[in-house]
Amino acid sequence: MMADRWKHPWLGHLVMLVLGCCFTGNPALAAEAPWSGREYRYIVIEQSVRDVLQEFGRNLSLPVEVSDAVDGEVRGDIRASTAGEFLEQVCESNGLGWFYDGYVLHVAARQELSRRRFELTDVDVPRLRAEITQAQVGKPLSAMINAEHDSLEVMGPPAWIADIAQRVEALRQPSAPSIPAEVKVFRGSVAQPPGS
């Protein structure tokens, strides 16, 4: 059996590569929006980006929140066969980022994308990691847990960062109240007010 193992030394490297891809924050493995695979054909004739995105939402019965910073026009034909491809092309050609929270599609301008660091003291980190993996629907989104420093760094549209902030606080376990080391008892009497 040991002789077989050395016949294909590349096999071990291949297994490690596959395992590495499965357990890293690979964007291709991020969750997909349920509407992204739906057939979607829409002809754009010099429309504002905001109007195109609002119409996209109406056509899919999907609430869309477009940031005030999103502007510009969509020109030319967008060749896409699915709703996900259409959104990707509109966002890429107009410098936009997006996040789907499970109900609302949030679209923001790239200049609104930001980073935020969260302290994870008293946070259920395995559960947070699972929730982030499930909620990571959008582009560009990033979330990296640093176990060494007990922190989480996220990057993306404002709605993504707000969603992560809520998740972190919801999973923060209250610290145990401190118990005093000693108790002092004071004895006394009840005083009567004068004139009673």
126-140 pLDDT tens trace: 999 999 888 888 888
Is the pLDDT at 4 greater than 50, yes or no?
A: no
- Residue ranges, comma separated, of all CATH 3.30.1370.120 domains in the chain are 113-170
Beta bridge partners of 67: none
What are the distances in angstroms from CA 54 to CA 73, 98, 157, 189?
13, 13, 18, 74
**More confident site: 6 or 173:** 173
- Residue ranges, comma separated, of all CATH 3.55.50.30 domains in the chain are 32-111
Please check whether residue 132 is in contact with residue 99, taking contact to mean a CB–CB distance below 8 angstroms. Answer: no
Which pLDDT value is given to residue 176?
60
Beta bridge partners of 118: 152
The pTM is what?
A: 0.69
DSSP state of 35: T
How far is Cα 78 from Cα 86, in angstroms, rounded to an integer? 7
**More confident site: 111 or 29:** 111
Which pLDDT value is given to residue 191?
67
Which pLDDT value is given to residue 66?
95
The domain defined by 32-111 carries CATH number 3.55.50.30: yes
Could you read off the pLDDT of 28-59 as tens digits, one per residue? 334 688 899 999 988 888 899 999 999 999 99
Architecture of domain 113-170: 2-Layer Sandwich (3.30)
